[in-house]
Structure 1
């Protein structure tokens, strides 16, 4: 029979897996308490970072329907449960791991799909959602501007041609009057 404290821990982890849109599994061996506190502050707003027990995490992941973490659950593990922008959280973890080589990204899950450590680094290399949306809006604006220019170009060309004919006609009339 499972102990009540372990059952509560599994239930809490299961809820966190279900409530998050991504989870990144890391190894924190060699990090100080101050460094872990700094990492939690870095991730706040987008993710929560928790030290977990591997067997309880494996049970919770199975109950939440999360696949692909079982083989990575070895050694001291901690999970960043991402509830905000996954790209921002991945960037925070990547940057912290560069500054503190003791933090090792093992892998993770994004929208139910298992990710390797390399895929999480690729995710971190993406631009944030806001930047991508701004680029998309700029592309739409540019194509609309180009379409508007194409629609007004024939009218502008016609006006220029009419002005040129009018000036030519006035020049011919003034030449005939002078002769």
Structure 2
């Protein structure tokens, strides 16, 4: 890699670090190309990216960003998993780590907060942004549904009383 390409990579990574919701740093030594491609596909489907960069360049890209405290995680062969949804990247990384022993989560970051591996796992356990939106829509819709059933109940009861009286009169 020549100097211009390195500068371009550092600036690209820096922009990604500034605009990301969360970052997971993991060791990947021993993963096959097929396993790495599977990881990339899963992360891409979740709306994120997987990047393998030289540790020195990644540390340079972290300078001046909120994620600068995670620079110590870049030792040995590392891969960067990032996504705009703060939960999507960690969720995919943790699921992938469960099935691949060679993929080891070293830590990560979200905003100004550096996360240890347990913090990444805790973040992965949270519901995603889409799940939260669905729950919020359900909560907002729930009172309207209950209101409709409460309003319909008296008219239904009245109809049953009238029907019972009509049947009583016909029987007599």
TM-score when normalising by structure 1:
0.74
Alpha-carbon distance in 2 for matches of 1:103, 1:61: 22
Provide structure 1 residue ranges, at least 5 long, that are not aligned to the other structure.
Answer: 162-179
In the TM superposition, residue 120 of structure 1 has moved relative to its aligned partner by: 1.6
Change beyond 3 A, Cα 1:150–1:113? same
C-alpha contact (below 8 Å) 1:67/1:113 kept by paired residues: no
Residue 109 of structure 2 corresponds to which residue in structure 1? 109
Task: Give matches, 1:149-168, under 5 Å.
Answer: none
1:5-50 CA-partner distances (Å, limit 9, x unpaired): 4323222211221232221111111111221111111111411111
Larger Rg: 1 or 2?
1
Deviations 1:79-132 (A, max 9, x none): 01213x332322221111111111111111223332222122122222332232
Residues 27-46 of structure 1 aligned to structure 2 (within 5 Å):
27-45=27-45, 46=47
Deviation at 1:65, TM superposition (A): 3.7
Answer yes or no: is the 8 Å Cα contact 2:52–2:79 preserved in 1: yes
Matches of 2:133 and 2:25, distance apart in 1? 28
State the distance in 1 between where 2:66 and 2:89 align. 22
TM-score, normalization: structure 2?
0.76
Task: Label 1:89 to 1:81 Cα distance change in 2 as closer, same or farther (>3 A).
Answer: closer
Instruction: Name the SS of the counterpart of 1:101 in structure 2.
Output: coil
Is 1:132 aligned with 2:142?
no
Report the 3-state secondary structure (helix = DSSP H, G, I; strand = E; otherwise coil) of the residue aligned with 1:63: coil
Q: Corresponding residue for 2:81?
A: 80
Count of residues in correspondence between the two structures: 168
Structure-2 residue corresponding to 1:167: none
SS where residue 69 of structure 2 aligns? coil
**Aligned to 2:64, what secondary structure does the other structure show?**
helix
Match of 2:96 in 1: 96
| Inter-CA distance 155–51: structure 2 relative to 1 (3 Å threshold) | same
Cα displacement (A) at 1:143: 2.5
Residue in structure 2 matched with residue 164 of structure 1 by the alignment? none
Gaps of at least 5 residues in structure 2 are 162-172
Q: How far does residue 160 in structure 1 lie from its aligned partner after superposition?
A: 9.8
Counterpart CA distance in 1 for 2:143 and 2:71 is 48
